[in-house]
């Protein structure tokens, strides 16, 4: 069964646009779980333009499923993670001014840095995942770094979905290879109701998807409860 982790960053973006606490990020997280989400994902950035560090602290006592914190592992991020101790940390190579995640890690180039960060997270008994593209050599290095899982960066698949049979193949190969060398497989970025079902059907050993922008946008039309049900239905393979 593929788990659905709902990224609630866009809920915080909407709240921050007006000030105050509407919509309530903590309530949305609790409701998402009530409606069937198997996890909550947040991606705090240094400028706190959507999820704030205080939100992350508050979510620690709210989330009853799996709490996944993703982001670039700078000093403030790692300090927050150490304070909160989520179930999973997903390392993403975002510069501070990035609008959204737009690349996977070059695990060869950042080998020493990532090895040190992963070791630190393992000492805290936190499951780790590294945001990755489909390069098998870099995935092999990720295993040597010591991560538990990789998260496949799916924007190239989503952007070229009109050629789905062709563009999904590198992801199938990457998932098979990762599984063979003992890595768990997550996926995320631009997955939607349009492209999720085919991806879930094709990718072997997929444990979890993290979906935010499309899911929260769909909830404006269908409501959060119905939207989560639709995404979970798409994941049944």
Verify whether residue 87 is a known catalytic residue.
no
Q: Which residues pair with 211 in a beta bridge?
A: 6
150: nearest Cα among 217, 93, 66, 112: 93
| Parent domain of 174 | 3-234
Q: Which residues fall within 8 angstroms of residue 99, CB to CB, at 6 or more apart?
A: none
Q: What is the pTM of this model?
A: 0.95
User: Average pLDDT, whole number, for the chain?
Assistant: 96
Mean local confidence (pLDDT), 175-203: 98
- Return d(Cα 176, Cα 153) in angstroms, integer: 15
Task: Please tell me the distance from the alpha carbon of residue 109 to that of residue 129, in angstroms, as a whole number.
Answer: 17
* Confidence at residue 103, expressed as pLDDT on a 0 to 100 scale: 83
Other Cβ atoms closer than 10 A to 16 = 15
What does the pLDDT average to over 40-53?
Answer: 94
CATH assignment at residue 72: 3.20.20.70
43 as an active site residue: the answer is yes
pLDDT at position 237 is: 78
Task: Return the percentage of the chain with pLDDT > 90, whole number.
Answer: 93
pLDDT at 99 over 70: no
At 174 the pLDDT is 98
pLDDT of 107 > 70? The answer is yes
pLDDT at 165: 97
Please tell me the total count of domains within the chain: 1
Q: Which of 133, 151, 189, 208 is catalytic?
A: 189
From the candidates 43, 50, 133, 208, give the one annotated as an active-site residue: 43
* Per-residue confidence (pLDDT) for residue 64, from 0 to 100: 97
Cα four-point dihedral sign 45, 47, 49, 53: positive
Average the pLDDT over 12-40 and give the result. Answer: 97
**Cα–Cα distances in Å, from 135 out to 100, 104, 176, 184, 212?**
21, 10, 12, 16, 25
Whether residue 196 has pLDDT greater than 80: yes
Q: Among this protein's residues, is 213 annotated catalytic?
A: no
Q: Which residue has the higher pLDDT, 217 or 94?
A: 217
Band (pLDDT 50/70/90 cuts) for residue 94 is confident
Catalytic residue among 70, 133, 151, 208: 70
Q: Is the pLDDT of residue 96 over 80?
A: no
Q: Given this model, what pLDDT does residue 78 score? A: 97
């Amino acid at each position: 069964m593929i788990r659905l982790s709902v990224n609630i960053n866009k809920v915080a973006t909407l709240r921050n646009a007006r000030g105050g606490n509407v919509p309530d990020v903590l309530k949305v997280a609790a409701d998402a779980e009530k409606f069937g989400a198997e996890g909550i994902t947040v991606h705090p950035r240094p400028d706190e333009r959507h999820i704030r560090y205080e939100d992350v602290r508050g979510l620690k006592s709210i989330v009853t499923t799996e709490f996944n914190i993703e982001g670039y592992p700078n000093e403030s991020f790692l300090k927050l993670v150490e304070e909160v101790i989520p179930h999973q940390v997903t390392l993403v190579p975002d510069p501070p001014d990035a609008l959204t995640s737009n690349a996977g890690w070059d695990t060869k180039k950042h080998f020493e840095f990532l090895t040190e960060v992963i070791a630190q997270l393992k000492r805290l008994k936190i499951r780790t995942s590294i945001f990755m593209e489909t390069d098998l050599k870099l995935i092999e290095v990720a295993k040597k770094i010591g991560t538990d899982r990789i998260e496949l960066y799916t924007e190239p698949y989503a952007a070229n979905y009109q050629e789905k049979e062709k563009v999904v193949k590198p992801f199938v190969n990457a998932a098979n290879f990762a599984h063979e060398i003992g890595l768990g497989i997550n996926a995320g970025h631009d997955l939607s109701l349009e492209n999720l079902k085919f991806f879930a059907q094709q990718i072997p050993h997929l444990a979890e998807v993290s979906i935010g922008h499309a899911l929260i946008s769909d909830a404006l039309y269908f409501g959060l409860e119905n939207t989560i049900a639709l995404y979970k239905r798409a994941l049944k393979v």
